[in-house]
Amino acid sequence: MNLTPRLQAAAELCRGAQRVIDVGCDHAHLCVELVRRGAAFAYASDVREGPLRRAQETLARCGMEGRIKTVLCDGLRGFTPDRADAVVICGMGGDTICQILRESPWVLAGRHRLVLQPMTRSETVRRFLAHSGCTVTEERLALEGDRLYCVMAARGGCAPYEPENGGLFSDAMRQDPLFSQYLNRLAGRCRAALEGRQSAGLDDGGLREALAILQKEERYAT
């Protein structure tokens, strides 16, 4: 099974996990890969029947029905904490990921590794994690086409804190070879948005602050 770089990064961040819940599994390719890499059991869950049918087809094709169970449910509502030691949520918007975590706070208590890959608003996810007492322990960047995706591993159980770098990036991301490219793109987007506001006679303190953080980091990263 050829996983995309985004899902490959997610699989790597799950290393060592024995029982995994993949929320929003769609085709269940990630679950199959995790079991092939040594996980004992995985739950492939999705809120829609269509994706779950695709998941079941994948499991039948790969002979994985005994090791991966499909579950129809919204977020983590169909699960109790003892089901897994890792929870993966990939390929959804950052707001949806936060909503799913907020609705099942047991997942933020520190017993589970979280592997999260927001398609949008990764800074919202980092801020939510910090305010919920979760530390981003690892973060990778995955390049697909011309898009860069953030894939993070986190664990809860500490006191809530203010996120480093305004949540724009994590300290754990600095080792990634694509980090300076990521900063560059983000700074470019901030600059363009700020110029847009300024040309309409408006100012945006939040954007200016974000740009200052990114520019300071760019100087170290290049």
Nearer to ligand SAM, 23 or 87 (CB): 23
Q: Which residues contact 205 (CB under 8 A, 6 or more apart)?
A: none
What is the distance between the alpha carbons of residues 182 and 141, in angstroms, rounded to a whole number?
A: 8
96 binds ligand SAM (CB under 6 A): yes
75 binds ligand SAM (CB under 6 A): yes
94 binds ligand SAM (CB under 6 A): no
What is the distance between the alpha carbons of residues 86 and 222, in angstroms, rounded to a whole number?
A: 35
**Whole-number minimum distance, CB 76 to ligand SAM, in Å?**
8
91 binds ligand SAM (CB under 6 A): yes
Nearer to ligand SAM, 99 or 180 (CB): 99
What binding mask, one character per residue, do residues 26-55 give for ligand SAM by CB under 6 A, x or -? x-------------------xxx--x----
92 binds ligand SAM (CB under 6 A): yes
Q: Please tell me the total number of residues recorded for the chain in this structure.
A: 222
Packing angle of the helix pair 29-36, 5-13 (nearest 10 deg): 50
Among 12, 73, 80, which Cα is nearest to 44's?
73
Count residues near ligand SAM (CB under 6 A). Answer: 16
CB 208: neighbour CB atoms within 10 A?
14
The amino acid sitting at 27 is: H
100 binds ligand SAM (CB under 6 A): yes
| Residues making contact with ligand SAM (CB under 6 A) | 7, 23-26, 46-48, 51, 74-75, 90-92, 96, 100
